[in-house]
Structure 1
Amino acid sequence: MRILIDMNLSPIWAQYLQELGIEAIHWINVGNANDPDKIIFDYASANNYIVFTNDLDFGTILAATNANAPSVFQLKSQDLLPKSIGEMVINCLNQYENYLKEGSLITFDTNKVRVRILPLK
């Protein structure tokens, strides 16, 4: 699993995921902080990354483009730091790993998870 962390999440996520053996990189190490979401989306798709974000715009891009990739993992939580929700996020990533590999939009909330298979219709 390769994860590209969006600018709207802390770079702490990259270190947290890497320590658990997950290949992860924060966008600040790849592109510019002010790059539009479409640039991040295209990079993730071309390089086989899962977009890890709390930005709803990536779901909108998936729907508008009818794309099969990249998979997007959206966090919906008041507290977005790994020290608070990291263990739950890792459990979710592991549980839905096959969906992420095949192409999906997963919305993670501490109370529920929603999985939508790509392309979105």
Structure 2
Amino acid sequence: MKLLLDEGLPRSAAARLSNVNIDTIHVSEIGLSAAEDAEIIQRAIEEDRVVVTLDADFHTLLALYEATVPSVIRIRIERLRAQALTDLLVKVINECSEELQQGAAVTVEPNRIRVRRLPLLPDL
């Protein structure tokens, strides 16, 4: 599993995740700190990475374009420090690995993890 951490998440979490064999980079390491969400999504597609973000806009873009990639993990827990984020992402990956590999929008809340397969289609 390869991750791309969005702005707003601790940069040091990338190194911590890499230390537990999860290939992780932070947008600030690759010059995308001020990038538009669509540019971050494109980079994740090119590098076969899962985007990890605090931003709801990524799920909106996936739905708007009926995208099947990349998978996105949206964290809805504020002020996570690097180690707490690392522990949380290890848990999410362990629980949702198959879905993330196939294309999923994952929302992580304090008491639950919600997984929706891509493409995100409107409810009829």
Compute the TM-score of the two structures, normalised by the length of structure 1. Answer: 0.93
Partners of 1:12 and 1:42 in 2: how far apart?
Answer: 23
Paired residues of 1:71 and 1:101 also in contact (CA < 8 A) = yes
Deviations 1:38-59 (A, max 9, x none): 1001110121000011111100
Compute the TM-score of the two structures, normalised by the length of structure 2. Answer: 0.91
Unpaired segments ≥5 residues, structure 1: none
Paired residues of 2:105 and 2:116 also in contact (CA < 8 A) = yes
Deviations 1:58-101 (A, max 9, x none): 00110111000000011111232233353233112111001000
Alignment CA distance shift 1:88-1:35 (3 Å): closer
Q: Which segment is superposed worse, 38-47 or 85-94?
A: 85-94
- Aligned positions of 1:32-111 closer than 5 A: 32-111=32-111
Report deviation, 1:120. 0.3
Matched, 1:18 2:18: yes
Paired residues of 1:79 and 1:85 also in contact (CA < 8 A) = no
Unpaired segments ≥5 residues, structure 2: none
RMSD of the alignment, in Å? 1.2
Aligned length: 121
- Displacement over 3 Å in runs of 4+: none
Paired residues of 1:7 and 1:33 also in contact (CA < 8 A) = yes
